[in-house]
Structure 1
Amino acid sequence: MKRTQLSQLAVFAAVAEARSFRAAARELGIAPSAVSHSVSSLEASLGLRLLARTTRSVAPTEEGRRLLDTLAPALGDIGATLDGLAERGDRPAGPLRITMTRLAAEDLIVPRSAEFLNLYPEIELDLTTDDRFEDVVAGGYDAGLRLGEHLEQDMVAVRAGPRITGAIVASAGYFETHPTPRHPGDLLAHRCIRRRFGSGAIYRWELEKDGKPIVVDVRGPLILTDQTLIRRAALDGAGLAYIFNQRVAEDISEGRLIRVLEDWCQPFDGFYIYYPSRRQMRPALRAFVDFFRHSD
């Protein structure tokens, strides 16, 4: 491989991630014409078209995607090594990019972020919230937080919170005009508040009792993307909601919401910090993992 191809590969990866030559140029701090020339030169030297270009968009070709699958982890290792070198004396410092769901941010990370940053004042913590599962390598993140059941097997996973239990709830006003469900099948006759994930898929309620799982494709006229909004809608009598118990425990104890089908709501894996297995782990990431690690 020619030396010039190293820098060209880095530019290609930046364009593929940003899906824009101009955005990549801003990220790299060079002229858009230099970005275009670098990618064109790399394609010419390889004899392959790596990026499909239109007047409106840029996207990797099949060959480009195959190259990125190998390139992204390698660039991640190089970046981790360079960042580690910048952290003099193995002192945790520098930018730390973490992707997580909004729930993980609200319940686990943000409430303790001030304490963490006071302990490690040289770390710049950059948090991105998204319900979709993120490939931390391809996305340029140091780590992510997701529910344990959604993690890839090639990720290192560290528990960041306790096991979670769902709760099916509705307001007392709702039950004045609707019967109490006794079995998951009864949910099909109810107005249920449904949740849409960032991927666009609508969640089907996953329940279990005595080791027997059941999935219910509930119905209802209201679809939301956020548990905070789902709780609010349930309190207002919009229908039955399936929500993390910790979000509505106080509402249940004070009678604002009534819980049903509790024996069908079994605990499941909570949130984990996940990151790729690397030969060298940045001190800043190690500090984050150790600080937010959950101990039973």
Structure 2
Amino acid sequence: MSAIEVLRLPLSVDLSGFIELLRRLDVPFRVSEESGEQVLWVPGPQLAEQVRGLYQRFPEGDPQFQLPGQAPHEEPRAGLLSQLKASRLTSLMLLLTLIVAGATGLGDNFSIIRWLSFQDFQIHGDYVYFASLAEMLESGQWWRLVTPMLIHFGILHLAMNAMWYWELGRRIESRQGGFMLFGLTIGFSLVSNFAQYLTSGPSLFGGLSGVLYGLLGHCWVFQRLAPCPAYRLPPGVMVMMLVWLLVCLSGLITALGFGAIANAAHVGGLVVGCATGLLGGALARARR
């Protein structure tokens, strides 16, 4: 059966959501590039008409839709186990975070925290003595540059960070893969931890917040340059997170007695996340 041209669109049009819909529906297709345009082909004129009508209704994709006569597809309504399998790196990172939270007693077990903190420390009475970062690195303790992201102080701190990592991590893993998410997580942790250290000096800090602001900035800028359904955040999310960042920077949260906030880590993560989003979005836009 010969291939029938269904759509011919400019390269700037994002077909990723519609392509994902066709994959979910097990529709055979191929996409080619001709004269600066992307062309979608399917076998047979009857299927071509169905797919053309489907695009008119759902140009960005709709996981709940089935073609006439097709058996319902279970994947869009998959349970938690299927979601975990589809987002393996996101799930593993959260599992590791939960294990560390349990081992550290959510910030109470300093004997374990001191092995994951940015700098080793000793507590003598009311004083905390931090070891030199240079000495730590010279002795091979390079893991300290990123492991503070695993330390959380309190159940609310853990719950909020885990929720946002699950939300943002899955988006990036589905769009750019687990290796990219892992690289971004490690890179954002490294930058945000150094930013906090350079700003506050030797201190005890931790949490995924710096990484989360990095992932948020990455998705936000990437989406503006190369729109895709995976990175389309709900309206107001970016505004809410920026407002929260400004509230934390004002010192209000600390003044109210809710503890110190690693503001430099948040800002550092957001800046480097916007940078990676700019690079990734520009490359994706150029490929289109």
Compute the TM-score of the two structures, normalised by the length of structure 2: 0.25
User: Which structure dedicates a bigger proportion of its chain to helix?
Assistant: 2
Compute the TM-score of the two structures, normalised by the length of structure 1: 0.24
